[in-house]
Structure 1
Amino acid sequence: MSLMLTARPVAAQQADSAAARRSPLVLGAYGQASFIIPHTNAIRHLADSHPTGFELNLQRQTTGAAPWHGWYKYPKAGLALVYYDFHNPTLGSAFAISPYLSKSFWRTTRHDVSFRVGAGLAYLTNPYSQQANHKNTINSSAINATLQMRLEYDYALTPQLGLLVGLALNHYSNGATTRPNFGVNLPTVVLGLNYHQQRPALTINPNAPKPEDVGQNFYSLSTSIGFVQRNESDLNKYLVNSVTAAIGRRVNRKSNLLAGVEGFYDRSLKATLQDTTRAGVKQPDVKKAGVFVGHELLFGRLAFVSHLGFYVYAPYKSNTPYYERLGLKYHFTEQLFGAVDLKIHRGAADVIEFKAGVKL
């Protein structure tokens, strides 16, 4: 009899564990209304419309199958499909696909307040053209990067159906791959419905042990390529390279801290010098070297990267003495990783970097 009594809770725990590992789905459909921030005078003539959009998304509620799920209080991982009509013939429309993570700050049976961050690719239907669309100073290429931040509140109308309201900021930019590229920022109000396959979802492993490498140092080497256009009249795409050597330390379950040195070679600066330097005058070196400190916010193999760097060698003063970097990094193995970064000078995109590296 005692064996039967002890077996039942063990069987129940095994059933809960199996259910938790299924990661229930959440399906969403939202309407969006926004306006364009005139962050520079060059786009003020385009900031008089009120874009509207529609979004479909598919989310999986993490439940503890991986240790980091519990460390972040079981976030959702999703994929969003977004359509925007700018209601301006100069700008046209935008189609975007964006993977994202959504972290809850307050979650009960009926209420869920969360913050969502995503990044992906967008297609803009009516980019700048010197001949056909010279007024579109916001963007000059069809393919763009999209960034999204959103505060969401999901209220349970029924056990499966949720009413969602949110405040968001959507951004589209090509990272200066072509110019003009002032980008567009869209503060947005969101209203829609979520269908929850299971609410609340069963969870396991809330206090997963910390990884073995916490408190350990590591080294990394990486290189990147990118392409930039100088201005609207020069249609050439110039290659930009960088090499980076860094030392890092995993300080806790969620974070790496880094410091390093790197070198840059932007061939568009050489072309600018050739256009502006008088004959016979020695041109300064366009290569640059910098030092940086950085942080990586870890989600399993994925990390959100942020760096602040300072140039220590820059004979040609083409921009600010410091730079920032934001990006996504993914470890394919314990040693090999890839990343997509946006390098920035004082809020203005410099180049999108496609990076490959090794962790030592």
Structure 2
Amino acid sequence: MSSPCLRRWKQAAFLCLSGFGAHAQDAPAAPAEAPRMPLVVGAYAQGSIIMAHTYAIRHLVASHPTGFEINLQRQTTGAAPWHGWYKFPKVGLALTYYDFHNPVLGYAFAASPYISKSFSRGEKHDFSFRLGTGLAYLSNPYNQETNHKNTIASSALNATLQFRFEYDYALTPHLALLAGVGLNHFSNGATTKPNFGVNLPSVVLGLNYHEQRHPVQVNPYAPAPEDVGHVFYNVSTSLGFKQRTEGDKQKYLVNSVTLAVGRRMNRKSNLLLGVEGFNDRSLKATLDDTTRAGLKQPDVKKAGVFIGHELLFGRLAFDSHLGFYVYAPYKSSTPYYERLGLKYHFTDLLFGAIDLKIHRGAADVIEFKVGAKL
């Protein structure tokens, strides 16, 4: 039997350790360290049709393009706060080959970084939407002497936009069947003409290999950044080049200057309001060709106001702007314009962006932008 003194010592030690454990449980826990992002490798076949979105390409819609895609993606696990805010999306790179089965169009090769957001994720299934953009090489661009029927694209290097709904179903712990429907778009943004672009609605079927299908995901409720609700200012300038007509091979400089005020609305969004000025030198060339001798030419410079939205993924943002011209003496386009683009913050101060400026659904110019956030 133990002595009364020893029993009292044991009781005191137990109470002390119990109290320490209670205080430790009450203390706020540090954010868990995110595990490594597992790899997913996919191989898919694609079957498509060519949309006749304009009369000028109707002679090219008879074929049914087929393609093959190699896909490399990572499942986010919480290393950055935005992973949890977007319910742990996948990020990846798609390498795509297309055969148009038409000697006028030839082949296409594309590389598209993308992000994939799940709508429904279970033990054996994952239904998601993926959005990506990148660069494409078209083997048979328009040539006035040798390939004048290809009105889709007149340059070998093009931009590509891809979106797709995908359903991934587990066959084994590592192997899954993938089925999807989506759209692939190729265009050079009117850098050279003709440039009606091509839209390829597609069905996709293939296999995915999951290194780890259900990895541990940490920090799902990462706190909102400190700048939510704060106002900021952007100043930027851009340049691009465009061809006026198929007959005029010269590339004309297009540049702009933008001043904007913005507000971080929440973890995912910025709203912006701004003013900007444009100088499109191809408009001056058009006036020189069409204005009668001795008549005064209108000013080709334009000024606009816009409202914009930025969808934020860490340092990367997807931009969408709607603008209205408030100064446009030369009426060369619609009174409004849109912009879609990708923006990346190299530092807290400096950013770069690639934007596609659009008039009523038709590409006007691809803009390369640099700026500062103040």
TM-based fold match above 0.5: yes
Structure 2 counterpart of 1:112, one-letter code: D
List aligned pairs for 1:51-90, cutoff 5 A: 51-90=65-104
Structure 1 counterpart of 2:38, one-letter code: P
Residue 327 of structure 1 corresponds to which residue in structure 2? 341
Structure 1 counterpart of 2:341, one-letter code: G
Q: Is residue 32–residue 219 contact of structure 2 (8 Å, CA) maintained in 1?
A: no
Q: 2-side partners of 1:126 and 1:342: how far apart?
A: 23
1:205 to 214, 219, 222: 219
- What displacement does 1:57 show? 1.1
Residue 4 of structure 2 corresponds to which residue in structure 1? none
Count the aligned residue pairs. 352
Residue 318 of structure 1 corresponds to which residue in structure 2? 332
1:179-198 Cα deviation digits (max 9, x unpaired) = 00000000000000111110
Residue 38 of structure 2 corresponds to which residue in structure 1? 24
2:142 to 110, 122, 128: 128
Residue 265 of structure 2 corresponds to which residue in structure 1? 251
Structure 2 counterpart of 1:106, one-letter code: S
Q: Does 1:183 align with 2:208?
A: no
Residue 92 of structure 1 corresponds to which residue in structure 2? 106
Matched position secondary structure for 1:42: helix
Unaligned runs of 5+ in 2: 1-12
Matched position secondary structure for 1:87: coil
Matched position secondary structure for 1:278: coil
Q: 1-side partners of 2:209 and 2:279: how far apart?
A: 50
- What displacement does 1:21 show? 2.6
TM-score, normalised on structure 1?
0.95
Q: 2-side partners of 1:200 and 1:233: how far apart?
A: 57
Q: Does 1:214 align with 2:220?
A: no
Q: Is residue 17–residue 203 contact of structure 1 (8 Å, CA) maintained in 2?
A: no
Q: Is residue 253–residue 280 contact of structure 2 (8 Å, CA) maintained in 1?
A: yes
Q: 1-side partners of 2:46 and 2:115: how far apart?
A: 19
1:223 to 237, 245, 262: 237
Q: 2-side partners of 1:117 and 1:335: how far apart?
A: 27
TM-score, normalised on structure 2?
0.92
Q: Is residue 52–residue 85 contact of structure 1 (8 Å, CA) maintained in 2?
A: yes
Q: Does 1:162 align with 2:182?
A: no
Q: Is residue 308–residue 324 contact of structure 1 (8 Å, CA) maintained in 2?
A: yes
- What displacement does 1:199 show? 1.0
1:178-223 Cα deviation digits (max 9, x unpaired) = 0000000000000001111101111000000000000000000000
Unaligned runs of 5+ in 1: none
Q: 1-side partners of 2:179 and 2:358: how far apart?
A: 32
Matched position secondary structure for 2:70: strand
Matched position secondary structure for 2:261: strand
Q: Does 1:153 align with 2:170?
A: no
The percentage of counterpart residues that share the same residue type is 76
Structure 1 stretches of 4+ moved >4 Å: none
Residue 266 of structure 1 corresponds to which residue in structure 2? 280
Question: RMSD over aligned Cα, in angstroms?
Answer: 1.7
